[in-house]
Amino acid sequence: MSELGVRAGVMGPQPIASRRLPPDSLFEAARRIFTLLIGGGKTELLAMTEPQAHDQAAAVADSVKPGVYNSGTIIGTARSANHYFIKARLTGENVEPFKFQVRLGENEGRWTIREALNLTGVRSGWSK
């Protein structure tokens, strides 16, 4: 009997194209950002930020209390053509999670920050 949980195993139209999943290198870049934010590596963070987003990235870095967070989690990703938005959360013990969002674009094999937004205390990325 066909496995009904697998699309190809059921009747009806099959997908006409395959999914394009975010590349592993993007997740590596995100993990690097977590490490830099958690460890107070603002200078290194700005080094991986395009000039137009320096102020935004600096504001996010300044909002992260040093030494209180110990891990980062990707909440979600979405892409606009070849750029990826990443929503993420830093967590630690006895501290409110820090939520932020960045847009990353690849430049000569290196992912750089194109915009950054602190989402802590706002309802969503739509909040103005």
Partner 1 sequence: MQRMIPVDKLARPEDHILIPSQRLRAARAEQGLSFQAMPYEEDFLKARLHGICAGEFQAMEAAGRTLYDFPDAPWEFQLDMARQVWDESRHAEIYLKLLEYVGSWYGEFPEGEVLWSCTQAEDPAARVAGINRGLEGLACDVFEQLIRLAQKMGDTVIERSVDYVLADEITHVRMGSKWMRKLTEGDPERLRKAQEFQDSIDILFSFGGGRPSVEQVPQVKQRVAGKEFEFDARTPLARESRLLAGFTEEELDRLTKAATRSTAY
Write the interaction track for partner 1 spanning residues 5-44; mark x where CB under 8 A is met and - where it is not.
--x-----x-xxxxxx------------------------
CA 64 to chain centre: 16
Please give the C-alpha separations between residue 99 and each of 8, 19, 118, in angstroms, as whole numbers. 38, 28, 6
Give the residue with the Cβ less far from partner 1, 11 or 123.
123
Minimum distance from CB of 113 to partner 1 (Å)? 12
Residue 94 makes contact with partner 1 by CB under 8 A: no
Mode of pairing for the β-strands spanning 83-92 and 95-107: antiparallel
Non-local CB neighbours of 46 within 8 Å, separated by 6+ positions: 54, 57, 58, 61
Among 67, 79, 95, 96, binds partner 1 (CB under 8 A): 79
| CB nearer to partner 1: pick between 77 and 118 | 77
Structure tokens that stand for 105 in this block: 């674009």
Q: Give the residues lining the site for partner 1 (CB under 8 A).
A: 7, 13, 15-20, 75-83, 85, 87, 101, 103, 105, 114-115, 122-128
